[in-house]
Amino acid sequence: MKNYGYKPFILAVLLLLSTGLLSGCLFEGEQSLEKMDTPEEAVTTTPDPSSDEPQPEGEGENTEGEDGEGAEGDASSATVAREVYLMDANGMVAPQTLELPASEEVATQALEYMVKDGPVTNLLPNGFEAVLPAGTEILGVNAKEDGTLVVDVSEEFKNYAAEDEEKILQAMTYTLTQFENVKRIKLWINGHEQQVMPVDGTPISKGVSRADGINHSVGNNTDIINSEAVTVYFPAQNGEQVYQVPVTTRVAKGSDEYTAMVQALLEGPELGSALMNPFNEGAQLVNSKLENGVLTVSFNENILTSVDEQPSLSDAALASLVMSLTDQADVESVEVHVDGTEQVFNEAGEPLAEPVSRQDINGAEAM
């Protein structure tokens, strides 16, 4: 006798199994789509597979809106003030603060904005030009634990004049050593380490650091043996723009570092230079003291200039002091005192009640 009661049961079981298998396939498909929609981490080609980009010093970029929620439109248009070293009309290398698109690859981006006819073209201040040869590509950067940043560039980098070789090295070095943990740079070209620069043969096998100096100014009567190098900033002017130019000069060995730097500033730039001396004749440093990153420098009254009958410290003099002294690793800001004066004012008549940092100066110059 046939039993037809099993057929509905079997059909129900088959239906349940097929539904489970189908939903399992659909679930797995959704997972696969999620994985495909998640982009893989971008890999930068570098001389070493363990490459790392340096981080900008003291930077805390915030791309969130006022309500604390991020906005895609704001993120795509966010910019960051970055110091890039360019060449001025006098052939000197000087920093300029540019607003660059926010990027995680800060070192690579900074170099790209130093290439002639590159993305920096529309941002160049009047009288300035980029220093890296046109067509140069940044193939990669690799940060080492000892503070060395290896920079790999394309063959187009070799297309420069011999007289520009040191300027290119100085601009690259000072731009990249603004980033955290970068102490020196080493150059590779198309994946090959360079022992000397390709055009004029400047030795670079040990790397290049800020200790090698910039815009060297050594007088004919300088005693090289009994002196040591320091870098200070003097103002230069192009049209209405006043900007600071770093100059490596020499001071007597054995003197206090900060005192020697301020003294070099008070003596002014080399005669015949396009640079200006922002300090009054007779201005003297009385003393200096470093405490918790703040360097206090005290001067006699000759440091002041009368503006609208209000004795004040000129903006150019303040910028020279701050830019020069905060180049030292242990100096974060500078406070200026004047003997016999309770309060020091700037040219705008505002009291300099707080220590002044490099960011304060760069922000003022960029306005």
In tens digits, what is the pLDDT along the chain, a chain of 367 residues? 444 444 444 444 444 444 444 444 433 333 332 322 323 333 344 444 345 677 666 554 443 444 444 445 555 579 999 999 999 999 999 999 999 999 999 999 999 999 999 999 999 999 999 999 999 999 999 999 999 999 999 999 999 999 999 999 999 999 999 998 999 999 999 999 999 999 999 999 999 999 999 999 876 556 678 888 999 999 999 998 999 999 999 988 877 899 999 999 999 999 888 999 999 999 999 999 999 999 999 999 999 998 767 899 999 999 999 999 999 989 999 999 999 999 999 999 999 999 999 989 976 554 3
- Which pLDDT score is estimated for 363? 65
- Which pLDDT score is estimated for 4? 46
Q: Tell me the torsion sign for CA atoms 216, 217, 221, 223.
A: negative
Q: Name residue, tokens 């306005």.
A: 367
pLDDT tens-digit profile of 244-260?
A: 999 999 988 877 899 99
- C-alpha closest to that of 316 among 250, 248, 233, 249: 233
Beta-strand runs (E) in the chain: 79-87, 93-101, 138-143, 148-153, 184-189, 192-193, 208-209, 227-238, 241-252, 285-291, 294-299, 305-307, 310-312, 333-338, 356-357
- Which pLDDT score is estimated for 221? 57
- C-alpha closest to that of 242 among 96, 349, 85, 359: 96
For residue 352, report the phi and psi dihedrals to the nearest 5 degrees: -90, 70
pLDDT tens-digit profile of 92-142?
A: 999 999 999 999 999 999 999 999 999 999 999 999 999 999 999 999 999
